[in-house]
Chains A and B, each alone.
Chain A
Amino acid sequence: GAVVSQHPSRVICKSGTSVKIECRSLDFQATTMFWYRQFPKQSLMLMATSNEGSKATYEQGVEKDKFLINHASLTLSTLTVTSAHPEDSSFYICSATPSGGATQETQYFGPGTRLLVL
């Protein structure tokens, strides 16, 4: 149980285009999902907290107009990188916390999406 999927697993795009990444909780409902960014050989950096039915909360220094987050249902959150540039190339990881119950202590992570902007 507690499986989180991400799609696509990797994407290559041209500079200036937009890319959408999906994060789904497959067997549980998640009121809250998180989006992280990880640079090579570095730790995870929290970008934003996504709450179902409300606006995402962005961390300091993360441009909300550049990284659009939509959490339309209890099992799906999307991250859209708008007008992508080479410096946006990174590994993007989402996680989800089950709604209620003892398991809300734990975040379950997706496998990540590797974005390469040419």
Chain B
Amino acid sequence: AQSVTQLDSHVSVSEGTPVLLRCNYSSSYSPSLFWYVQHPNKGLQLLLKYTSAATLVKGINGFEAEFKKSETSFHLTKPSAHMSDAAEYFCVVRSNAGNNRKLIWGLGTSLAVNP
């Protein structure tokens, strides 16, 4: 069975400071992992994904995430927060076993960026 835990429901940072959004996963098989962002009144946008290639994944808008199998983690980071980064972020896991393409969603982390 797969599951994903986002360790913080809310994170607040100052503009220009680093961002860390934590995610731990559980999967019986080699998983694919994703981070999605949801801005108010907009659709979900894929930030980045890990699919068994390089463990350090670079995404859009300066975000990156590192897949650490030993820690079962896939934390999202950004060196310097921008006001436009304020949004809801979802960590998502998908098992690569069989043809099941179902995604398992974390509960989300709300990121606030203060001026």
Contacts and interface: CB of A to CB of B under 8 A. Distances in A.
Interface of A: 4, 32, 34, 41-46, 49, 93, 95, 97, 104-112
A98 B49 CA distance: 16
- Which interface class (under 10, 10 to 19, 20 to 34, 35 or more) fits B? 20 to 34
Contacts of B45: 109
B112 to A, nearest CB: 13
B44 interface: yes
Contacts of A45: 105
B52 to A, nearest CB: 10
A77 B38 CA distance: 22
B44 A106 contact: no
B87 interface: no
Contact of B106 (A43, A105, A109): A43
A107 B101 CA distance: 9
Contacts of A104: 101
Residue from B42, B43, B105 with most neighbouring chain A CB atoms (10 Å): B43
B33 to A, nearest CB: 11
A45 B102 CA distance: 11
A43 B105 contact: yes
B49 A105 contact: yes
12 contacts: A4-B43, A34-B103, A41-B108, A43-B106, A95-B44, A97-B101, A105-B51, A106-B46, A107-B103, A109-B36, A110-B43, A111-B43
Nearest to B4: A43
Question: Chain B CB within 10 Å — which of A4, A44, A93, A97 has the most?
Answer: A44
B43 A109 contact: yes
B42 A111 contact: yes
B49 A42 contact: no
Contact of B108 (A43, A49, A107, A108): A43
Given A44-B90, A105-B51, A106-B49, A112 B106 contact: no
